[in-house]
Amino acid sequence: MRRLLIVAAAAIAATPAFAAPTAPLIERAKLFGNPSRASGRISPDGRFLSWTAPRDGVLNIWVAPVSDPAAARPLTTETLRPIRQYFWAPDSKSILFINDKGGDENFKLFGVDVASGAQRTLTPFDKTRVQIIGVSTTIKDRILVGVNNRDPKWHDVHSLDLATGKLTLVQQNDGYGGFVADDALKLRIASKPRPDGGTEFYKIDGGMIATTAFATIGLDDSQTTAPIGFTADGKTLYWVDSRDRDTAALIAEDFATGKKTIVAEDARADIGDTLVEPRSGRVQAYGVNYLRNEWKIVDPAVQADLDFLQGRLKGEITVTSRTDADDRWTVTVDPVVTPASTWLYDRKAKSLTQLFVGRPELVGAPLVAMYPREIKARDGLTLVSYLSLPPGSDADGDGRPDTPVPMVLFVHGGPWARDDYGYASYHQWLANRGYAVLSVNYRGSTGFGKKFISAGDLQWGRKMHDDLLDATDWAVKQGVTTADKVAIMGGSYGGYATLAGMAFTPTTFACGVDIVGPSNLFTLLQTIPPYWEAGKQQFYKRMGDPTTEAGKALLAERSPLNAADKIVRPLLIGQGANDPRVNVRESDQIVAAMQAKNIPVTYVLFPDEGHGFARPANSIAFNAVAENFLAKCLGGRAEPIGGTIAASSAKVPHGAEYAPGLSTALKP
């Protein structure tokens, strides 16, 4: 009871001038701590269930018989880094997962035997990043992997024997960005980057790569066109393809004749997820994600299944695994306003069994709705966006607060990515603290066609930033917020957007929170990982070319570092020391520049993290600092920082005194 009183007192102390939410604070640990369970799967043979769950505070893989989920046992023994990506071996005898050290993204592949629990490192190479090239439904004893231990720029393809761990070279890679294999684990396609930022695709026959490309795409199609896989018989190749159109269609190509058939297209958005029959490899349904994901049927054989699931499970539905016999599926449903849950679906019996709720501690918590919105940019582009409101602020439920509230503009990373409809921990957390939260798919975001992506070319810090400003103006005009009560926050490109907002439009935002954001676009491109070589020309064409004088000038102009002396509003920066994408130097540079000008900035550094915060203790610690920082800036609510810093690896090289409660939290 005393702890609750302390939290309540802190919330009351931070009560702003606007009408604060009456809902209780949701503890940070419930939003950003380990889920109770996640990533539910069924083994290909249908005998086992698997998921990730904490073991001694770290996410590990657990397994259980399908007949008795309560008999689950931990299979892995990770003690530092959570396991976030895993999959079943085709023979169902082992589970494979990847992990790195301290966020360096040098991922190794590990295999663990389900029966004995014995674990092996299957790609035991340092400073090497594994790729999964091919997994078959018919060949059970091996898979294809790519490793860049010979040349860090390119991944050689190897056959991995799952029983012995032996790696056998299949294809040495001397300049190809990727490969596509069929169900027989034969390499069929090699892709090669072009100097213009596009890609050429070559057929592979008998292990020989053709000398003439059978398909070519330019820069404009480079984010929206790619082969996605063969049918099991190897005769049909599926593409997502924007050639001769704007949004990416689903195309089936007869690989022998080259004849193409349009399976699906939608003028609003690219074709996204597909539901594939495991035995034939044929697409049975596809998703179109404009405002929300909509499933469309190709094969009537799954019509009754999707109708049943959508009738029984209210929310966004994802099929996460299917048995080889296709008799049972695992399905996750996300209702947004309640925590997501995972279910076992028996197709023959038409029955659903709940396996788990991912975050049961959020059952009954005051989670809020998410409202899709279409916002017009100044040049007429439509920006698909998502708005969340503080609990209790919208009495009539029309998606607009009764009176304006402070707002956090939360910007996604990438920038070649997108925001989606669904449960978002940052939206729920910030809304609970008293803020409207607006996420905007600015130009350059993916999912809305190639013209929308290309509209962001060479527009970092300019038209891409204008979109964020236009969305902020929309929120003010709609009565969501007031112009003086908007913060900007985000990670990766979202961190760049935060720094750009602080430096290029210094009085627009009340404050900013930058997480692993680049400050100097020239040094960003200098330090991209070597294994991104295939995409380097696309970076240059879409951001600015550092090998030309004009490109250097553009990159300098768009780098917030070079306008750091213009920053006048409070800024908080979070960074992982081992980040391979946005080098720690990006944060070091702008902090040093601001320090030299005596401009206040708070810098929180995590020695055991990379591009973002994987360890929950670190995420909780940074968000503890951030919510107290935002409470001072915008007037919202906050839990005290308490012992979160001590429980994490956080270091504060500069500016602890500028973040409320941080200096105290750093004391022993």
Tell me the three state secondary structure of residue 145: strand
Q: What is the pLDDT of residues 598-651, one digit of tens each?
A: 999 999 999 999 999 999 999 999 999 999 999 999 999 999 999 999 999 999
438-473 in b/e form (b: 16+ CB < 10 A) is bbbbbbbbbbbbbebbbbbbbbbbebbbbbbbbbbe
Classify 166 as helix, strand or coil. Answer: coil
531 touches 189 (CB < 8 A): no
**Structure confidence by residue, pLDDT tens digits, 426-450:** 999 999 999 999 999 999 999 999 9
| Percent helix / strand / coil, the chain, rounded to 5 | 25, 30, 45
Closest CA to 250 of 232, 279, 277, 229: 229
Per-residue pLDDT, 118: 96
First to last CA, the chain: 26
Residue 575: pLDDT over 90: yes
Catalytic residues: 492, 579, 611
Q: What percent of the chain has pLDDT over 90?
A: 97
2-30+363-520+559-666: CATH topology is Rossmann fold (3.40.50)
pLDDT tens digits for 189-224? 999 999 999 999 999 999 999 999 999 999 999 999
In sign, the C-alpha dihedral spanning 476, 479, 480, 484 is: positive
Residue 190, SS3 per DSSP: strand
Please say if the pLDDT value at position 8 is more than 80.
no
Give the pLDDT of residue 599: 97
Q: What per-residue confidence (pLDDT) applies to 21? A: 56
At 653 the three-state DSSP class reads strand
- Is residue 119 scored above 90 in pLDDT? yes
The whole-chain average pLDDT of the chain stands at 95
C-alpha gyration radius of the chain = 25
Q: Residue 345: what pLDDT? A: 98
Range from 22-26, 238-242, 509-513 carrying the lowest mean pLDDT: 22-26
Axis-axis angle for helices 493-504, 463-477 (nearest 10): 80
Residue 265 has pLDDT above 70, yes or no: yes
Instruction: Note the pLDDT of residue 2.
Output: 28
Q: For 296-316, what is each residue's pLDDT tens digit?
A: 999 999 999 999 999 999 999
Q: Which of 651, 633, 624 is nearest to 32 (CA)?
A: 624
| Range of weakest confidence among 22-26, 119-123, 512-516 | 22-26
Q: Which two tokens stand for residue 131?
A: 């790729």
Q: Supply the DSSP string of 348-398, one letter for each residue.
A: TTTEEEEEEES-GGGTTS----EEEEEEE-TTS-EEEEEEE--TTS-TT-S
Domain ranges of the chain: 2-30+363-520+559-666
Residue 355 pLDDT exceeds 70: yes
| For residue 398, pLDDT beyond 50 | yes
Query: Crossing angle, helix 616-634 and helix 425-432, to 10 degrees?
Result: 40
